Amino acid sequence: MLKERIAGLLDQRLSGHSLPRDFYVDEQIFQADVEAVFETDWLFACSTVEIPRPGDYLTLRVGHNPIVVLRNRDGEVAAFHNTCRHRGSQLCLKEKGRANRLVCPYHQWVYELDGSLINARQMPEGFDIGAYSLAPVHVQVVCGMVYICLADRPPSLDHFRAGVTPYIAPHMPDRTKVAFTSTIIEEANWKLVIENNRECYHCAGNHPELLVSMVEFALPDDPQAKSQFQGLMDRSVSRWNALGLPHKPADGGIEFRCIRLPFNENTVSFTMDGKPACNKLLGNFTEQDLGSVRMFRVPHNWNHFLSDHIIHFRVLPISANRTELRTTWLVHEDAVDGLDYDVGHLTAVWLATNSEDGMLAENNHRGILSRAYRPGPYAPSEFMLTHFTDWYAGKMGDYVGGPRRAVAAE
C-alpha cells in the first residue's frame, strides 16, 4: 500500500515545483526515504583527517543503522555496522574516540580493527569466532572525503571522483586538520534542509553575514547577474587560468555539482569582514583570493574549498520532521590556533548562516503541514532544486518498482 501511495504521488508531481506534501511530512514515507535513498547511495561520512591514526573512529547513524568509521592498523579507512554480533548492542557509544580494539560494552566481545572477532568470553568450546566478524560497510575515499554505502552492491563513484578531483586536489585536504565541528538539529524534513541549501534566492533577505563575501549567483554566466559580477568573474577567471585551477561547472548532471566561483570584490574568505580566516594557506597556494570551489553531491552533502580553509556539511535524517546538520572546518595541518587563525573568526559566518537556515527550514516545514499547502513553482535561480527533486523522484520511482511517468503534465 505504501509503495502504491508513493507511486501515486510521483504521478502527481510537477517537475520544477516543490514536492507533494506527504513527501515532506509523512513518517511512513520518511522510512521509505531511508530505504530508497540513504541505504542505497554513497554517503559522506567524514574527512580522513578526523581519524588520522590507527584506532581513531567516528560514529554516525543512517536511519536505524549505527555505523562506525575507523582507521585500521594498516592505516586504511574502514567502516562497519556498529552492532555486536552477539546480541546486537552498539559497540562504540561516543561520536568520536580512539580504541586499540572494539569492545562491546554489554558482554565484552572483542573485535580487531579489521572487524574480526578475537574474543567471545564464556562461549562454549568449538565456538567459531571466525563466523562472527562485524558486518562491513563499503568505503571509498575521494580527495580526503570518506564516503560509505550500505547497499549490497553500491553504485559506481567513478564519474564523481573523476569530475571533482581536479577542483579539490589542489587544496590538499589530506594535509589539513579539524579546527572546529558543529552539530545542530533542525525541526524540519531533510529534503527541506537540502532544498534550502540549493538556492540563494533567500540569501539577500536572510544572510547578511554570508553575503559579505559570497556572491549570490550560482552560474558564471547567470543572465540575472549584475554587470559588475561579470567583470569580477572575468578577472577571477584570468587569475585561475594562470594558476591552472579549473573553474567551469563540472559535468555532474543531477548527481553532483562542482564549480569555482569568486568572492565579492575585496573579500577573500567566509569571514565577517571578508578577510582571511587563516593566514596559513592550504596546499601550495600563495594567493589568498581564489574564490571557493562549491561542491554538492546527492543526497546530503555540500562543501566549500577555499585558499585558507575547507568546510564540510553533512545532513542526516532523524525523522520526518527532524534533521541533523554537522559542519566541520578544516585548516592547514600546521596552522596554530591563536596564531594563524582564531576559531571564532573562522566559524562565525557559517555558524550564523546555519542558525538562520535552520529557522527558515523549520518555518518552511511548519507551513507545509497546513492543509492549504500545494506544490509551488521554483524560480529560475532555483534550478538546483529542480535537479534535486528530479533526482529524488527517480530514486523513489526505483523504490516503488521501476520507471514511472517522470512528471505530470502542467
CATH number reported for the structural domain that contains residue 79 in this entry: 2.102.10.10
Same domain, residue pair 110 and 222: no
- Specify if 349 maps to a domain: yes
Give the count of alpha carbons within 13 A of 210, CB side only.
20
Alpha-carbon torsion (45, 50, 51, 56), positive or negative: negative
Question: Do 218 and 120 belong to one domain?
Answer: no
Which of 96, 126, 154 terminates a domain? The answer is 154
In a domain, 247, yes or no: yes
Cell numbers given for 246: 579549473
Tell me, yes or no, whether 210 and 319 share the same domain: yes
What pLDDT does residue 229 have?
Answer: 83
Instruction: Please check whether residues 138 and 199 belong to one and the same domain.
Output: no
Q: Within a 10 A sphere around the Cβ of 410, how many other Cβ atoms?
A: 8
Give 297-343 pLDDT, tens digit per residue. Answer: 999 999 999 999 999 999 999 999 999 999 999 999 999 999 999 99
Residue ranges in the chain modelled with pLDDT below 50: 404-410
pLDDT on residue 402: 63
Within-domain flag for 28: no
Query: What are the Cα distances from residue 227, in Å, to 239, 249, 289?
Result: 19, 20, 20
pLDDT at residue 345, rounded to an integer: 98
Query: 83 and 196 in one domain?
Result: no
Tell whether 141 and 176 lie within a shared domain. Answer: no
Domain boundary among 119, 154, 189: 154
270 with 354, same domain: the answer is yes
Look-up of cell digits 548492542:
89
247, 332: one domain = yes
Determine the pLDDT at residue 222: 73
Residue 78 lies in a domain: yes
Q: Which domain holds residue 74?
A: 48-154
Domain annotation covers residue 38: no
| Pair 128, 273 in one domain | no
Query: Residues 130, 186: one domain?
Result: no
CATH code of the domain covering residue 268: 3.90.380.10
**Domain match, 249 and 178 both:** yes
Helix (H, G, I), strand (E, B) or coil at 286: coil
